[in-house]
């Protein structure tokens, strides 16, 4: 197994792109990543693209063939990866394994989704397919409803409060206000979150990530070759993936994501690190309760303490463990196929000391990404460090 590094990153703004198509967004992110790596397209050996629901959302399948064609990358192999909201993170893992194994040298990993060209109900139905279609979506359980069940149970078992969940949104909107790529760049208050419309009790509008358009890309290479392209390579120390039941009703607990716990344990073992070694982490906060459970299941805080820790500022930039410096899914946005790759872009910027507008974590050397598919049936985690 060869050591693997990120040598270039790029992304589009996340938000509502009425004037840009899916192919426009992917090309914009890809070109920015190649320019960042000082790399010509002729050097790329393979492409892995994460997207969840392009067929439902824009009527286009065979999506990586479209990307390779539009970016002038033919005849390289181009492979689509789908793992619901973890599509981008799993695409990154596939690219990592291709380079680590020696099958390919230079690989581009992209993630993209165009979600705003259909009515909200149609987008919600497409996203609902990430759960158990027969036993959840068909019976009326939307994703806000599923995460509301988790939230309510977490409140019962650990005393987590709605105000503590609101603190996640406040912190992530603050971080997003410093991110020029973020969907939402305005700060919010606890009062604003608490007074927002109830979506699925106890989750309110500001507890939920938005429907977004966007794309992100990273370029991977063997670490031994990385400095041919960049002076600031970021080494991927670990890549781990785990699965759980698709339906909530089949799980032993509603207050934890077993796939997260397993993937985190494997990633820390591979990297020979512990949660205390992480300087910045992007976690999958599709809903505010999801961030609270993530910081517990990864091991940053004991089970049941995530809400209190957030409310007390321990996950803010400059505190114990900065979480979602990009603004997370909640503030930066959630074009589902792009999210896992965007997380890697943000951590690469943090480790290179290039996060702008006040969101840089001082002295960040080791970072982590945590990307979840559906209500937790898939989890993929990557640990990275600034290369020596």
Catalytic residues: 85, 334
State the burial class of residue 10 (Cβ atoms within 10 Å of its Cβ: 0-12, 13-18, 19+): buried
358, 178 contact by CB (below 8 A): yes
337, 58 contact by CB (below 8 A): no
Task: Report the sign of the C-alpha dihedral through residues 101, 102, 104, 105, in that order.
Answer: positive
Non-local (6+) Cβ contacts of 170 within 8 A are 187, 188, 189, 190, 193
Task: Report the sign of the C-alpha dihedral through residues 9, 14, 17, 22, in that order.
Answer: positive
What is the rounded distance in angstroms from the CA atom of residue 45 to the CA atom of residue 47? 7
Task: Report the sign of the C-alpha dihedral through residues 264, 213, 203, 152, in that order.
Answer: negative
Query: CA dist 154 to 284, 339, 360, Å?
Result: 17, 25, 32
What is the rounded distance in angstroms from the CA atom of residue 360 to the CA atom of residue 23? 31
Residue 76 has φ and ψ, to the nearest 5°, of: -65, 155
Angle at 141 between CA 139 and CA 147, to 5 degrees: 160
């Amino acid at each position: 197994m060869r050591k693997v590094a990120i040598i270039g990153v790029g992304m589009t703004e996340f938000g509502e792109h009425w004037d840009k198509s899916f192919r426009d967004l992917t090309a914009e992110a890809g070109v920015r990543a190649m320019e960042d790596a000082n790399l010509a397209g002729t050097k790329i050996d393979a492409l892995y693209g994460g997207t969840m629901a392009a067929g439902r959302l824009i009527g286009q399948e065979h999506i990586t063939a479209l990307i390779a064609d539009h970016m002038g990358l033919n005849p390289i192999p181009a492979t689509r990866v789908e793992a619901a909201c973890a599509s981008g993170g799993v695409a990154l893992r596939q690219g990592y394994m291709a380079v680590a194994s020696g099958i390919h040298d230079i690989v581009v990993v992209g993630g993209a989704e165009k979600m705003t060209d259909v009515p909200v109900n149609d987008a919600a139905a497409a996203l609902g397919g990430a759960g158990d279609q027969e036993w959840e979506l068909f019976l009326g359980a939307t994703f806000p409803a599923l995460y509301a069940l988790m939230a309510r149970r977490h409140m019962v078992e650990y005393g987590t409060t709605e105000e503590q969940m609101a603190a996640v949104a406040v912190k992530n909107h603050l971080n997003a206000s410093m991110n020029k790529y973020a969907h939402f760049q305005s700060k919010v208050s606890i009062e604003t979150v608490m007074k927002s419309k109830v979506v699925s009790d106890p989750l309110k509008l500001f507890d939920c990530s938005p429907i977004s358009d966007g794309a992100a890309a990273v370029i991977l290479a063997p670490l031994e070759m990385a400095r041919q392209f960049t002076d600031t390579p970021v080494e991927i120390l670990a890549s781990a993936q785990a699965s759980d039941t698709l339906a909530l009703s089949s799980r032993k607990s509603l207050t934890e994501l077993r796939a997260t716990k397993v993937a985190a344990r494997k990633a820390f073992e591979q990297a020979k690190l512990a949660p205390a070694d992480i300087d910045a982490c992007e976690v999958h906060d599709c809903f505010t309760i999801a961030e609270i459970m993530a910081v517990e299941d990864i091991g940053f805080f004991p089970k049941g303490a995530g809400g209190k820790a957030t409310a007390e500022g321990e996950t803010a930039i400059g505190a114990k463990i900065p979480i979602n410096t990009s603004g997370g899914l909640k503030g930066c946005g959630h074009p589902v196929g792009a999210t896992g790759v965007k997380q890697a872009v943000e951590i690469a910027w943090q480790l290179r000391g290039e996060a702008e507008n006040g969101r840089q974590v001082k002295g960040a050397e080791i970072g982590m990404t945590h990307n979840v598919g559906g209500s937790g049936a898939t989890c993929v985690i990557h640990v990275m460090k600034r290369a020596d």
